[in-house]
Amino acid sequence: MSPKRGDGTRPVSGTGGVRQICITETRALARPGLASDCELCPSPGRLWHDRCTCQMSDRTSDVTELQLNEDEYRLFCLLPDNGCAAGNGSLRSSVGWSKTRYSRAQVGLVDKHLALRGVGRGGTLRRATVPDLHPDQKTKKVTIPGPVSEASLYAPLLTTLRADWSENRGLHVLATEETAFGGGRLTGGRWSRPDLVAVGLRRFELVPAHFELVTFEVKTVDHINVLAVYEALSHSRSATHAYAIFHVPDVLALTKEDEITAVMSAAAEHGIGVITFDDPLNFETWDEKLPAERLQSDPLRMNTFLQEQLSVQGQLDVAETTKSVNPDLG
């Protein structure tokens, strides 16, 4: 069964003859090694995009219909995002694929109307730029994110954790911080610290608020494996809930389905939660596939954990609320 998105829809394969326009949305970084037959492209370098948006006309049924396999995704990300063409030889050399494997990925992109073949030595490939034949109709968009680093996800994830995620959970946030690098603090070792931490009070209508210390182990789409579960498990002893959270672009949802299922199986054995997301800033793309179980961690261990992991300001914010809830501690 296809993975479920945060809005309840399920992506399906196939494009249905969609006409698309690719446009650059964010910065492009120079990346050497690929030749281009276009004078507008930097030589000997080329462009490596961070994110591109394909606009599809209203005749399409659902933007999540577009699905790529890993090779198609990787090849698409190598194509210049300004519409210029790159040689097939240099493209294939850059990824180190056999001719058969490269041809399969190339055909996949062409069949899905994401790329066009061109003339030149060995042939060329470029992103499709088909004119929109219905400019007066409201268009839908599907986002194809390029490769991102894990660290670049921390800030936008924290933004969503502080807002939509905490609101949806009923959590009054006291502190949310990136703890992956730890700065100069002694945190007890790499696996003893999560990537992100959210601390707050979860409120209910009829029962007292519960203190929650939630940890997150963040992984990019090319690191979806059970190792994330065991990393989350290593610091779960000092938390009330622990999650492994994975960046899964919508266009790779079906391709990564088996890997996510394997992760969920391992996570379920240890009470670790699993979340996937397409856009770290858009909570509607977040999918809590497996809720984290509440852990009965020792309060002293949690206190020590917060002292080691949180910044001084974060500790002060938590302490202020803790004292107001327990005035005898003041």
Q: Is the pLDDT of residue 5 over 80?
A: no
Confidence of residue 12 (pLDDT cuts 50, 70, 90): very low
**Tell me: the pLDDT tens digits for 71-129?**
999 999 999 888 889 999 999 999 999 999 999 999 999 998 889 999 888 899 998 86
Q: How far is CA 247 from the centre of its chain?
A: 2
**Tell me: the pLDDT tens digits for 299-310?**
999 999 999 999
Q: Per DSSP, which regions of the chain are E strands?
A: 20-24, 28-32, 45-49, 51-56, 86-87, 115-118, 124-127, 140-145, 171-178, 196-202, 210-219, 241-247, 273-277, 287-290
Q: What is the mean pLDDT of residues 191-215?
A: 90
More confident site: 16 or 202:
202
The secondary structure of residue 245, as a DSSP letter, is E
Q: What is the mean pLDDT of residues 226-250?
A: 95
pLDDT at 46: 33
Please give the Cα distance from 33 to 191 (Å, whole number). 36
pTM score: 0.71
Q: Kindly report the number of other CB atoms within 10 A of residue 295's CB atom.
A: 17
Q: Is the pLDDT of residue 190 over 70?
A: no
Highest mean pLDDT range out of 140-154, 201-215, 254-268? 254-268
Domains of the chain: 20-145 (1.10.10.10), 150-325 (3.40.1350)
Confidence of residue 24 (pLDDT cuts 50, 70, 90): very low
**Tell me: the pLDDT tens digits for 65-77?**
688 999 999 999 9
Q: Is the pLDDT of residue 144 over 80?
A: no
Please give the Cα distance from 313 to 321 (Å, whole number). 13
pLDDT at 247: 96
pLDDT at 320: 87
Q: Contact, 192 vs 305, CB < 8 A? A: no
Please give the Cα distance from 267 to 276 (Å, whole number). 13
Average pLDDT, the chain: 78
Please give the Cα distance from 134 to 328 (Å, whole number). 68
User: Which has the closest alpha carbon to 52: 78, 70, 16?
Assistant: 78
Q: Give whole-number Cα distances, 123 to 36, 82, 85, 143, in Å.
A: 11, 18, 10, 27
Q: Which residue has the tokens 């610091």?
A: 235
pLDDT at 146: 80
Q: Which residue has the tokens 């409201």?
A: 138
Q: Is the dihedral of CA 62, 68, 69, 74 positive or negative?
A: negative
Q: Is the pLDDT of residue 141 over 90?
A: no
Please give the Cα distance from 230 to 239 (Å, whole number). 14
Strand order in the sheet with 86-87: 86-87, 124-127, 115-118
Q: What is the mean pLDDT of residues 172-191?
A: 74
Please give the Cα distance from 330 to 270 (Å, whole number). 37
Token readout for 173 is: 């946030």
Confidence of residue 138 (pLDDT cuts 50, 70, 90): very low
Confidence of residue 136 (pLDDT cuts 50, 70, 90): very low
